Amino acid sequence: MIIILKENANTRQVENLTNWLKQRGFDLHMSVGSTQSLIGLIGDTSKLDIDLLTSLDVVDTVRRIQEPYKSANRKFHPADTVIDVAGKAKIGGGNFMMIAGPCSVETHDQIISVAQSVKASGAHVLRGGAFKPRTSPYSFQGLHGKGIDLLEEAREASGLPIITEIMDINHLPLFENVDIIQVGARNMQNFELLKELGQTKKPILLKRGLANTIEELLMSAEYIMAGGNENVSLCERAIRTVETAPRNTLDLSAIPVLHKHTHLPVVIDPSHATGINELVAPMALAAVAAGADGLIIEVHNDPPHALCDGKQSLTPEQFDDLAKKIRAILPYGFRKEEWA
Amino acid sequence: MIIILKENANTRQVENLTNWLKQRGFDLHMSVGSTQSLIGLIGDTSKLDIDLLTSLDVVDTVRRIQEPYKSANRKFHPADTVIDVAGKAKIGGGNFMMIAGPCSVETHDQIISVAQSVKASGAHVLRGGAFKPRTSPYSFQGLHGKGIDLLEEAREASGLPIITEIMDINHLPLFENVDIIQVGARNMQNFELLKELGQTKKPILLKRGLANTIEELLMSAEYIMAGGNENVSLCERAIRTVETAPRNTLDLSAIPVLHKHTHLPVVIDPSHATGINELVAPMALAAVAAGADGLIIEVHNDPPHALCDGKQSLTPEQFDDLAKKIRAILPYGFRKEEWA
Amino acid sequence: MIIILKENANTRQVENLTNWLKQRGFDLHMSVGSTQSLIGLIGDTSKLDIDLLTSLDVVDTVRRIQEPYKSANRKFHPADTVIDVAGKAKIGGGNFMMIAGPCSVETHDQIISVAQSVKASGAHVLRGGAFKPRTSPYSFQGLHGKGIDLLEEAREASGLPIITEIMDINHLPLFENVDIIQVGARNMQNFELLKELGQTKKPILLKRGLANTIEELLMSAEYIMAGGNENVSLCERAIRTVETAPRNTLDLSAIPVLHKHTHLPVVIDPSHATGINELVAPMALAAVAAGADGLIIEVHNDPPHALCDGKQSLTPEQFDDLAKKIRAILPYGFRKEEWA
Amino acid sequence: MIIILKENANTRQVENLTNWLKQRGFDLHMSVGSTQSLIGLIGDTSKLDIDLLTSLDVVDTVRRIQEPYKSANRKFHPADTVIDVAGKAKIGGGNFMMIAGPCSVETHDQIISVAQSVKASGAHVLRGGAFKPRTSPYSFQGLHGKGIDLLEEAREASGLPIITEIMDINHLPLFENVDIIQVGARNMQNFELLKELGQTKKPILLKRGLANTIEELLMSAEYIMAGGNENVSLCERAIRTVETAPRNTLDLSAIPVLHKHTHLPVVIDPSHATGINELVAPMALAAVAAGADGLIIEVHNDPPHALCDGKQSLTPEQFDDLAKKIRAILPYGFRKEEWA
């Protein structure tokens, strides 16, 4: 960490600062210029409050050299994290995980049917929303506890472990038998929720917020890991930009950036990212080519006379076709192990 | 609402759709073109699920004409909402409210001292953080319940009503004696929290999220109002953009845009928006000129030897000077009543 | 196109508008609601000035249904455009083109050496900057005419056609023997330059601006094509977003979105997009997987003692390795022909 | 400038680097840490190529402490620049300039009428577009030379100096009698055009690009000033963000940020920024409150039966009313002179 002092900073205040830093065990390197001086800080700065330092009267700016996250940092944990899901599926360290299922759990027949078909196509985990974050209070909000019951029935019928989204700490008891708990984009910085999830041992899938940086995503993972739960996967699901042709802009460069900085697995959600059925397959293949550890894809069955087709959902047939293509391209994807 | 059908949409599915809409009480206007046809929907569409419609097989796109919010909509509630805070302060309908105080409550002496000085300068409400949302789990997270106790002591000493931020539904009992409950930018779409606050009668200050549109802010207000609590003020505190010279980009055009679309009061937070002490005064004056109903400003006392100066906080002297300027410019600000 | 009229629009002005539209040959469908009315416009609206319509007193909003571009529109030109480069290389319609070379042309030896090595690795076209757009007037601005001379020498030595960027109409005579003219991101909406390039028959590579939408990119292509030059390739090179870990955010969803809406070839520039050597290979492979028609990659030789390494440039060895991987993954990339 | 070296950087290459820097006249301060080392650079770094340094093998990152612009920098030129326009109007250093007129010059009668009415309302300069940058090649592109002729006639009739936009270097001779040359947002980084304008002595109004930072705007001003023309005003006209209720997001914090970093005058364009008539007045007042040196506002006369009303344009009556309000609020605006 480098602390750049203000021009003509008050000498006594600078002394107060350097003493305070030395007491906290840092080695200091002073670099005194004709107008401006710097302090180089050597030591573990990840737990130092950068806002506090920045707010000091004598400080112009503070620049981190090291990342502010520790548990999630590949520097301190070089080997890939491998997460085991209920003994039935694995992600990370070369294990590719395909998650598929409907946006919302609707009925018993729907979820059983989708579960069985995505299983047959090669999916490893079943997704389905029971609690749905909706912009409007007047939109369908999900089946809640009943939705989780139906997911458990679908697990029994298909053998697939299940993942579903949590929106409130108080619902945690309902998630006792859920295999992976998803934290949605809007809750990425719901820090109280993250802390609570840190107390469980459940695998967590943490989605990146719509305007959050990759570093902030890692800091949110750090909230969960700091509580003792290291089973965190990170999910890129697109950020808001000036482009509106697809719903949001899928940031696939997040895959190699995350792989460089963290040992946690990286999952891509091409369905919510693009919001358009036709873009799911090309973006899924691109994610695999860039080295993603997993995909989460919306698949919806299509009973006759159904009003709702899920514009971003694939039909079971489309998913089956895509799953084959994914398996075909998987051996040719980028392998981070080849980085020098 | 206009539903644009796909080219060559299946006739029977279109019939299913029009019947379904008629059953819901809408008047329909069909406009049949040579390649593409439209359905115009007349009626109250605010409770119609636009995602559901968009996902239909025969639908190309859906365009709203009316806004998707109702309780917050000025069309249905032309008069400004005036919120009364504990019988001691008012905001909206021509009542300007000045909120001031430190970012975090730190000690008894600090908060009492700041409360008395901002009161003397003309502030109407005391702010102070007890629960602090921090990007890093290793940063100071606030004094929690103890912080709220200190705020209540400062209220007694100064006579100012108090505002502080809630981060978790489960903390609600601690807020029983708080006068205004603030919802921070990161929780703007924590829908479970919003629903719960809709069950109280407390004045709420709802901050806009870092990447949220004005319409989404109004939809979040709608979550609170749908529960029965209409005492909602909206707070613009800057959005993330490509510019990084100030911390974020303060969107002052949100003031007239909100005043046009909603009857709820609009508050500007120039301190968190800019993150820089020197920018607070010009942005505060600009907000008043654009017609803001209130300001929330960080003020921190400055005891000798204190390490922390709050780079974005004003000193009590700076705030006193700014408060005078604000009172001077207030009669010359834009008056929305003059819109034809 | 749908014109949504204002509530209580003046009847006579509406009549003026409808007459004016009929005179221009449009069929109109009126949809009269209790408060708001619509006009549906049937006919070729691509040459109608949407800003003019929007500015009318009686008009609330105007929504396009059809795209505002015509020459670039796949609807009117379903078959892929195939561009032939000097009889030596092709792009589009299944022809994949690899462009490689240094950011700037520096010396005779450098450009000859890079040209020969990328040729050996399988590149089809040599890139090299002679005119360099630089944020600072104090940065190196390129060798100008001398740089183009060196590129021509490298073409002779290697047999590879050459591409280089134009920054000013007045330089056009210098580009007479250049095989592909590149328009950089900062000039995407330099409309006078685009018009002039429309008068040539040269293949053009048009880069997307940093904050421009895909539709605006197509409108800029339309400027060139409207002049008679249909040899336009489109290049995605990342947009500015809130993320700063890579230099910009590469929008790979632009590949299928462009393929859906236009017949023009799509090239991806992973080098400028990410600005980081290590991200080039995973993003290049992802682009191929998503169906890109070409790649443009920075490659720099690495003579001993050279100060400048080109942090985003690959060494010839790295490029050779990547080119092999690209050839391996190419058969498994998404094929737009499979869209229903 | 601080150069942060890579962990375990090659000692010989570091030596090459430090020698190279010393030869260029810099004083160096080395700060050697256990894993990472820094070099502090003392001297005039504004003409050092930061990209070159960043690309060095041994360099991790480079951080500027000083701004990369010099002529535009207030540090080296503390007094406000005052620009004189044809001896008839001034901007900067306490001189407030009101620019008004139509988006496009349309007819002789229109421009004369608007010129006379905005003059009567207190405008100091007449605006009017002759060359119009339009997204679509099929939209009206302006009257070109004829438009400039009409502006000159309006100048004669009203006595107001005139401003109009240039889009191409080759049109420069047509601008010989124009009083202020405007560079539009899309040409902010048309560096060849900027260089050419640096060779003239004309006052320039340089608009910020849609996705450009304040620092980049200053670097573009530097291009003009480096050529010898110091008569540059800077214009904020909104940036693209996630918000779409107004056309773009007007960044009024640019006013105090620019005033802090540069001595050049700052003009705000609330008309193009918001694109909505009703937002122009509140944003104009806010700009004045924040300390803007000038405003540029669209005003269009409104002959009976005219189709086009200019949704973002004010009528002469609205402008007259706004001009009064601006004069009333001007004495209460933020005065940068009060910064300590």
Q: What is the pLDDT of residues D261-307, one digit of tens each?
A: 999 999 999 999 998 889 999 999 999 999 999 999 999 886 433 44
On whether any CB of chain D is under 8 Å from the CB of C57, the answer is: yes
Give, to the nearest 10 degrees, the angle between helix B254-261 and helix D277-289.
140
pLDDT at A34: 62
Minimal Cα distance from D249: which residue of B? B251
List phi, psi (to 5°) of B101: 155, 180
A219:B135 CB<8 A: yes
Alpha helix ranges (H) inside chain A: 11-23, 50-54, 108-121, 145-158, 191-198, 214-226, 254-261, 270-274, 277-289, 316-329
Q: What is the Cα–Cα distance from C55 to D298, expressed in whole angstroms?
A: 13
User: What share of chain B in percent tops pLDDT 70?
Assistant: 96
Chains that touch D (3 or more CB pairs under 8 A): A, B, C
pLDDT at D306: 42
On whether any CB of chain D is under 8 Å from the CB of C12, the answer is: no
Chain B positions in Cβ-Cβ contact with residue D291 (cut-off 8 Å)? 282
Answer yes or no: are the C-beta atoms of D145 and D130 closer than 8 Å: yes
Chain A positions in Cβ-Cβ contact with residue C255 (cut-off 8 Å)? 282, 286
Chains that touch A (3 or more CB pairs under 8 A): B, C, D
Annotate B90-119 with b (16+ C-beta within 10 A) or e (fewer). Answer: bbbeebbbbbbbbbbbbeeebbbbbbbbbb
What's the Cα-to-Cα distance from B10 to each of A108, A312, B17, B37, B205, rounded to whole Å?
29, 20, 11, 12, 48
Looking at chain A, the number of H-run helices and the number of E-run strands are 10, 14
**Residue D30 identity (one-letter amino acid):** M
Q: What is the Cα–Cα distance from C132 to B35, expressed in whole angstroms?
A: 47
A290:C273 CB<8 A: no
- Given pLDDT bands bounded at 50, 70 and 90, which one contains residue C24? confident
Is residue C308 predicted with pLDDT exceeding 60? no
Query: Any bridge partners for residue A186, and if so which?
Result: none
> Among A99-103, D140-144, D248-252, where is mean pLDDT lowest?
D140-144
pLDDT at B35: 65
Q: What is the Cα–Cα distance from C48 to A9, expressed in whole angstroms?
A: 62
Chain C positions in Cβ-Cβ contact with residue D170 (cut-off 8 Å)? 169-170, 192
- Given pLDDT bands bounded at 50, 70 and 90, which one contains residue B41? confident
* Tokens at C81, concatenated: 């455009």
Of the candidates D47, D240, D307, which has its C-beta nearest C16's C-beta? D307
Instruction: Give the SS3 label for residue D191.
Output: helix
On whether any CB of chain D is under 8 Å from the CB of C100, the answer is: no
pLDDT digits (tens, 9 = 90+) for D54-112: 777 788 888 777 788 989 999 889 999 999 999 999 999 999 999 999 999 999 999 99
Q: What is the Cα–Cα distance from A227 to A245, expressed in whole angstroms?
A: 40
Answer yes or no: are the C-beta atoms of B25 and B83 closer than 8 Å: no
pLDDT at C35: 65
pLDDT digits (tens, 9 = 90+) for B170-197: 999 999 999 999 999 999 999 999 999 9
pLDDT at C225: 96
Answer yes or no: are the C-beta atoms of C278 and C246 closer than 8 Å: no
Instruction: Give the SS3 label for residue D254.
Output: helix
Quickly tell me which residue has 């003692």 as its tokens.
C305
Å between C181 CA and nearest CA of chain D? 17
Mutate to test the interface with A, among C63, C74, C188, C253 (most CBs of A within 10 A): C253
pLDDT at A16: 85
**Residue A313 identity (one-letter amino acid):** S
Per-residue 3-state assignment (H helix, E strand, C coil) for chain C: CEEEECCCCCHHHHHHHHHHHHHCCCEEEEEECCCCEEEEEECCCCCCCHHHHHCECCEEEEECCCCCCCCCEHHHCCCCCCEEECCCEEEECCECEEEEECCECCCHHHHHHHHHHHHHHCCCEEECECCCCCCCCCCCCCCCHHHHHHHHHHHHHHCCCEEEEECCHHHHHHHCCCCEEEECHHHCCCHHHHHHHHCCCCCEEEECCCCCCHHHHHHHHHHHHHCCCCCEEEEECCECCCCCCCCCECECCHHHHHHHHECCCEEECHHHHHCCHHHHHHHHHHHHHCCCCEEEEEECCCCCCCCECCCCCECHHHHHHHHHHHHHHHHHCCCHHHCC
Å between C42 CA and nearest CA of chain B? 7
Answer yes or no: are the C-beta atoms of B248 and D226 closer than 8 Å: no
Residue closest to A6 by CA, chosen among A29, A31, A36, A39: A36
Q: How many Cα atoms are found within 13 Å in the side-chain-facing hemisphere of D196? A: 19
Å between D123 CA and nearest CA of chain C? 24
> Which segments within D132-272 are labelled E, that is strand?
162-166, 180-183, 204-207, 232-236, 266-268
Tell me how many residue pairs between chain C and chain D have CB atoms under 8 A apart: 123
Residue closest to B254 by CA, chosen among D245, D167, A269: D245
More confident: B70 or B8 = B70
Answer yes or no: are the C-beta atoms of B334 and D282 closer than 8 Å: yes
Q: What is the Cα–Cα distance from C291 to C333, expressed in whole angstroms?
A: 6
D288:B290 CB<8 A: no
Q: What is the largest CA-CA distance in chain A?
A: 79
Q: What is the Cα–Cα distance from A31 to C340, expressed in whole angstroms?
A: 65
List phi, psi (to 5°) of A320: -60, -40
Residue closest to D268 by CA, chosen among D302, D299, D292: D292
Give, to the nearest 10 degrees, the angle between helix B214-226 and helix B254-261.
40
Mutate to test the interface with B, among C1, C63, C240, C244 (most CBs of B within 10 A): C63
- In B, residues 236-265, which contact C (CB 8 Å cutoff)? 240-242
B63:C65 CB<8 A: no
Length of chain D: 340
* Tokens at B313, concatenated: 């906080």
Q: What is the Cα–Cα distance from B49 to B38, expressed in whole angstroms?
A: 18
Neighbours of D324 (CB within 10 A): 12
Å between B10 CA and nearest CA of chain A? 12
Which residues, 6+ apart, have CB-to-CB distance to C227 below 8 Å? C195, C197, C198, C199
On whether any CB of chain D is under 8 Å from the CB of A33, the answer is: yes
Answer yes or no: are the C-beta atoms of D297 and D98 closer than 8 Å: yes
In this prediction, residues C133-139 reach a mean pLDDT of: 83
Instruction: Give the SS3 label for residue D199.
Output: coil
Q: Which of B23-37, C17-31, C320-334 has the highest mean pLDDT?
A: C320-334
Q: What is the Cα–Cα distance from D165 to D204, expressed in whole angstroms?
A: 10
Angle at C16 between CA C10 and CA C21, to 5 degrees: 125
Chain D positions in Cβ-Cβ contact with residue B250 (cut-off 8 Å)? 251-253
Minimal Cα distance from A336: which residue of C? C282
Annotate D16-33 with b (16+ C-beta within 10 A) or e (fewer). Answer: bbeeebeeeebebbebeb
Query: Any bridge partners for residue D232, and if so which?
Result: D204
Chain C positions in Cβ-Cβ contact with residue A290 (cut-off 8 Å)? 282-283, 285-286, 289
* Tokens at D315, concatenated: 């009528």
B135:A192 CB<8 A: no
Which residues, 6+ apart, have CB-to-CB distance to A118 below 8 Å? A100, A101, A126, A160, A299, A316, A319
Q: What is the Cα–Cα distance from B237 to B269, expressed in whole angstroms?
A: 5
Residue closest to C261 by CA, chosen among C22, C75, C49: C75
Is residue B280 predicted with pLDDT exceeding 90? yes
Mean pLDDT of chain D: 90
On whether any CB of chain A is under 8 Å from the CB of D31, the answer is: yes
Residue closest to A101 by CA, chosen among A128, A133, A122: A128
Residue closest to D283 by CA, chosen among D293, D295, D301, D299: D295
Answer yes or no: are the C-beta atoms of B237 and D264 closer than 8 Å: no
On whether any CB of chain D is under 8 Å from the CB of B268, the answer is: no
Secondary structure (DSSP) of D13-40: HHHHHHHHHHHTT-EEEEEE-SS-EEEE
Annotate B214-240 with b (16+ C-beta within 10 A) or e (fewer). Answer: bbbbbbbbbbbbbbebbbbbbbbbbbb
Chain D positions in Cβ-Cβ contact with residue A31 (cut-off 8 Å)? 29, 31, 38, 40
D309:C133 CB<8 A: no
Q: What is the ipTM of this complex?
A: 0.91
Q: What is the Cα–Cα distance from A110 to C54, expressed in whole angstroms?
A: 46
pLDDT at D235: 98
Question: What radius of gyration do chain D's Cα atoms show?
Answer: 23
Is residue B206 predicted with pLDDT exceeding 80? yes
D190:C192 CB<8 A: no
pLDDT digits (tens, 9 = 90+) for A16-67: 888 888 888 888 877 776 666 778 787 777 777 777 787 777 888 887 777 8
Chain D positions in Cβ-Cβ contact with residue A40 (cut-off 8 Å)? 31, 33, 38
Q: What is the Cα–Cα distance from C207 to A249, expressed in whole angstroms?
A: 18
In this prediction, residues C29-37 reach a mean pLDDT of: 71
Secondary structure (DSSP) of A62-102: EE-SS-S-STTBGGG--SPP-EEETTTEEEBTTB-EEEEE-
Structure letter (DSSP) for residue A231: -
On whether any CB of chain B is under 8 Å from the CB of C75, the answer is: no
